[in-house]
A and B are shown apart, each in its own frame.
Chain A
Amino acid sequence: MAETTGAAQFRAEIRRWLADNLTGEFAPLVGRGGPGWEHELVAERLAWERRLGQGRLIGLGWPASDGGRGLPWSWQAIFHEEYARAGGPGRTGHMGEQLLGPALLAFGTPEQKARFLPGILSGTQVWCQGYSEPGAGSDLAAVATRAELRDGQWHLHGQKVWTSLAHIADWCFVLARTAPQARRHRGLSYLLVPMRQPGVTVRPIVQLTGTSEFNEVFFDDARTDAGAMIGAPGDGWRVAMGTLGVERGASTIGLQAGFSRQFEDVLATARRAGTIGQPDIAARITDAWIGLQVMRYTVAAIAGEPDEPGTQPGAAPDRVAPGTEPSIAKLLWATWHQRLGELAADASGPDATLAGPGYELPGAQRLLLFTRADTIYGGSNEIQRNIIAERGLGLPRG
């Protein structure tokens, strides 16, 4: 598909900006960070986030009136594609930009937007997500963290878990129970809580990779002011769910480009180890390459679909599972990536059984191990299947 002149110019602009900026002090960041590697070069990546902010490359799709650039989806995709192609480091600002930002834009008051959006746009404030709890994983509506309003402040008690970047975050957006008597999701509210205060304790969780990028967060009378709730008390579920599919996978395009680099690494490994000569490995490599193309086509097609079924009659005939395309994309890439991890190890042969000093793992072993998380975080494969079956195919709940 041919790009318009404007889009081609934008692509060139992004490419040039990345060439000019992802260099010098930031050169060591190329290809670092991201899921599985979140613990790497954190201070440098925080500085990089501010550089992105200076370049006005955060909030590309946000309305200009809210400090964004109001760019269409396809241009955002161009940014993510070029970013990944240049080996741009894993973002520390993605929670703020992709999860909290859309919530503020959709549900925030003018005061809240003025208070919180600039920090996201400038890359100076890092956010983390306080959703999951030990007793509320796939069943998010079972959140037990409590928040009480006393003397103009919300007081929080409870525990969050699998909180990426909590150890470097300035703020956390938290789902908490504000109406103890209300059942399930009806009693939940969406609160913005400062992380650097006596009532907040962050403890890293060591993963099966031996590294640590997720945390436990304990709220023990943590506080935030009364103005730091998005929506009304009890609106938390609506706010959290309403923004989940908003971004529609523009960053998934970037994910693809990153996957493409990883695939090339696996191919190079198979050639180096000589396993490419094994029919089984050769076939799996071809299937992985085919899967990469299939994902690319699918994500692009999903992005081109109208937001709501029926808004463009006839244009998108017979959508397979309307409204659940983000779940479809997640299942597709998580499953593909996990298989690539297995292939990375198998293509390495017996060398994949080795680890370096201090359990330092080479790329193939890290990919093998970390991709086990892909099918769990951000909604497990099983939860995505429930969403597709119920909301997309209309099958009854069990």
Chain B
Amino acid sequence: MDTPEQAALRQVVRDFCARHTASPGVLADGVTAASTWQRLAGELGLPGLAIGERHGGMGGGLAEVAVAAQELGRVLLPVPYLSTALAGVVLGRGSQELAARLLPGLARGEVTAALAVDGQLTVRDDGPTGGALVRGQARHVLDGAEASLFLAGSPAGRLYAVRAADAAVAPAGTLDQSRTQATVTFSDATAIATGADAGRAVSLLRALLAAESAAAAQRCLEVTVGYLKTRSQFGRVIGSFQALRHRCADLAVEVTAARATAAAAIAAGPAELEVTAALAKLYCADVFWHAAAEMIQLHGGIGFTWEHQAHRYLKRAKTTQLLLGTPGELRALVGDLAGLG
């Protein structure tokens, strides 16, 4: 449930997205990714939603970031929002000195960030005076190609801020063309301790991906239902065929459940964040995949074309399923955390 302020935010972001996209994942004519990002930051202040007002943000929290992530996710707006907003959430809870240095730039959208958490990374931290160095390679860094700042670390450790200029960033070609990835290599890169916990950041990103997935899945269902109400075959609207109606009803059940589950992850307290975020990302990404796959099937041949929007959702769904914990990894993690062994 949205508060009235969140409902207003949702509408503003939805209108913004409508103006800036030609179709899901595709920017409108005369609009670039850079100009969209600038307006999204300058006019709407989205990167700073969860950043305190004294650092130039809006003073909201994860719930507001989730509202924005859902609306951007509904249309697959190709901007590095999720990771940058996450950095705002994470850094606000860490070192205050560093927060004062980094948050204003993040809030203005001048700095874009990405989370580079990988078991391959090692950190040498010589304490407050000695500085820190990060070494190793992080693969599949989401929103990594555009990032000017990395929050790097190993999953069980703390996060360190590294400027992109101090790392080797290799953008990767991606299945989902609306969201970038990079392989980021740190060769004793100069780093500053943020004090923030890497595991918590991963959980928060999973919660946001869950929220985004639930919203995108709902959009897939809406578009599909709309098509079934207009497409005619055998002299009748195909939405009247029970075989198709029942599949939409099943999706409605799943999407309703996914929304509630994502909301629980966004609202989770510290004690239950890890397990709730893991199960929410697992469940919601699976629902998203199912919705996108059904979107293609129920559209028939047109759904298989490049021109149609369905494939963009399908690719985002598969990407979301496999990053930040595959279904198998998350299922095992949830089983462990819930003591089901």
Within 262-279 of B, Cβ neighbours of A (below 8 Å) are at 263-264, 267, 276, 279
The answer to whether B257 and A294 touch across the interface, beta carbons within 8 angstroms, is yes
B15 in the interface, Cβ–Cβ < 8 Å?
A: no
Tell whether, in the assembled complex, residue B340 and residue A267 are in contact, meaning their CB atoms are under 8 Å apart: yes
Q: Flag B207-222 by CB within 8 Å of A: 1 or 0 each.
A: 0000000000010010
Contact indicator B246/A385 (Cβ below 8 Å): yes
A168 at interface, CB cutoff 8 A: no
What's the count of A-B pairs with C-beta under 8 Å?
A: 137
Contact B237 A392 (CB under 8 A): no
Partner of B253 from A314, A388, A397 at Cβ < 8 Å:
A388
CA distance A285 to B338 in the complex (A): 11
Contacts of A286 in B (CB 8 A): 331-332, 334-335, 338, 340
Q: Which residues of A contact B338 (CB under 8 A)?
A: 286, 289
Distance between Cα atoms of A196 and B225 in the complex (Å): 51
Complex Cα spacing A392 to B218, Å: 13
Is A220 part of the contact surface with B, judged by Cβ < 8 Å?
no
Interface centre among B221, B241, B267, B340 (most CB of A within 10 A): B340
Q: Are B225 and A320 in contact (CB under 8 A)?
A: no
Interface majority SS (helix, strand, loop, mixed), chain B: helix
Interface size on A, residues (CB 8 A): 47
- Among candidates B255, B261, B279, residue contacting A320 with C-beta atoms closer than 8 Å: B255
* Distance from B284 Cβ to chain A, minimum over Cβ atoms (Å): 10
Comparing B3-11, B136-144, B184-192, the segment that makes contact with chain A is: B3-11
Q: Decide if A393 touches B248 in the complex (CB within 8 Å).
A: yes
A314 touching B2, Cβ below 8 Å:
yes
A276-B259 CB under 8 A given contacts A293-B279, A315-B7, A386-B245:
no
Q: Are A317 and B257 in contact (CB under 8 A)?
A: no
* Cross-chain contact A397 with B331 (CB below 8 angstroms): no
Tell me the dominant secondary structure on chain A's binding face.
helix
A395 and B248 in contact (CB under 8 A), knowing A298-B257, A298-B260, A304-B1?
Answer: yes
Which residues of B pack against A, CB within 8 Å? 1-2, 4, 7-8, 10-11, 218, 221, 225, 228-229, 237, 239-242, 245-246, 248-250, 252-253, 255-257, 259-261, 263-264, 267, 276, 279, 282-283, 331-332, 334-335, 338, 340-341
Sort A-B residue pairs by CB-CB distance and give the 9 closest, nearest first: A314-B7, A301-B260, A385-B249, A389-B245, A388-B249, A286-B335, A297-B260, A298-B260, A297-B264
13 contacts between A and B (CB under 8 A): A285-B335, A294-B257, A301-B260, A302-B256, A315-B4, A321-B252, A325-B256, A331-B249, A332-B253, A386-B249, A388-B253, A389-B246, A395-B245
